Amino acid sequence: MRHRLIAAGASLGLALMGTQLVAPAADAAQPVARAAAPTITVKVSDKAIKLSSSSIRAGLVTFKAVDKKAKGAAVLQVLRLHAGYTLQQLSGDIPKAFNGDTTAIATVDDNVDWLAGAEARATKPGWFQERLTKGQYVFIDQNQQAPVFSMLTVTGKVHQRQPVASQGRINIFTYGFEPRGAIRSKGWVKVDNRSDQPHFIELQRVKKGTTRAQVLKFLKSGGNSQPSFALRARDSFGVISPNRRAAWKLDLPKGRYALMCFWPDRLSGMPHAFMGMVDMMNLK
């Protein structure tokens, strides 16, 4: 079973990121120029999570997750804890939640703002962009036993910044994904959680023609063997709370992919994919 909580992204360098627009000063009718969102690099090692800035003004921020671990992918997750709920309580509740304890699931759903994340591998950073308001944010590596974390302080009013150029979007519902538009295999896509529970995205490349029914059947059979339809490429996007949006940068081969979420369901305790949260999309 996949107990990994989060997710991933990809790297194309800064080429596609929002560039600074300069409005002609003479024409008052032109839209106001917006600065590109700043990038914070987050280096994840076995011992520490290091951010290139510990403080930033509110608004859109791009995160670049870099894997510096000895082995295994770094799975960066951003979150904000509600008042009275601690990181220690969260690390106690997460294993219970993934064992199907619905009280623990409700606790981690309701006491944490899950603010996306990205998986990074040695050769490939993970990228995501989101709007952060004033507050204290926690950065963790979901793929790590040790309690390694780091903090980011976001200050002031939201600055209007230029979002990354993206194509297509993945809307998330309970229980399913709705890919819209021409989503590129290499490039930014918007992710929008329009449901009433947190979700994440596990992307698995599959052979051409693979159906949702085939993937569901495999999962329901126990999912222990290697499915005949699976190909090697995969990636994942972090846990995102209801009514939250982010952009995620893909860097995958073109082809067909299964979208799955394994976040535990607050009513049944089952990972969402086992309740049918599986959909298919083709990346151009």
Query: Which residues touch 216 (CB under 8 Å, ≥6 apart)?
Result: 276, 278
Of 154 and 239, nearer to Cu ion (C-beta) is 239
Of 161 and 199, nearer to Cu ion (C-beta) is 199
> Least distance (Å) from Cu ion to the CB of residue 174?
7
Buried b (16+ CB within 10 A) or exposed e, 251-274: bbeebbbbbbbbbbbbeebebbbb
Comparing CA positions, the residue from 120, 242, 234 lying closest to residue 191 is 242
> Least distance (Å) from Cu ion to the CB of residue 160?
31
> Least distance (Å) from Cu ion to the CB of residue 263?
4
What CA–CA distance (Å, rounded) separates 161 from 176?
A: 31
168: left (phi over 0), alpha (psi -120 to 50) or beta: left
> Least distance (Å) from Cu ion to the CB of residue 277?
5
> Least distance (Å) from Cu ion to the CB of residue 272?
3
Query: SS3 of 5, please?
Result: coil
Of 137 and 263, nearer to Cu ion (C-beta) is 263
Question: Beta 161-162 vs 35-36: how paired, if at all?
Answer: parallel
- CA-atom Rg of the chain in angstroms: 19
The string of DSSP letters for 172-228 reads EETTEEEEES---SEEEEEEEE-SSS-EEEEEEEE-TT--HHHHHHHHHTT--SPPT
Query: SS3 of 275, please?
Result: helix
Of 261 and 283, nearer to Cu ion (C-beta) is 261
Query: Which residues form the interface with Cu ion (CB under 5 A)?
Result: 199, 261, 263, 272
> Least distance (Å) from Cu ion to the CB of residue 259?
10
Of 95 and 276, nearer to Cu ion (C-beta) is 276
Of 114 and 128, nearer to Cu ion (C-beta) is 114
> Least distance (Å) from Cu ion to the CB of residue 264?
8
Q: Contacts by 224-231 with C-beta closer than 8 Å and gap 24+? A: 230/204, 230/205, 230/206, 231/205, 231/206, 231/207, 231/255
Element (H, E) at 265: none
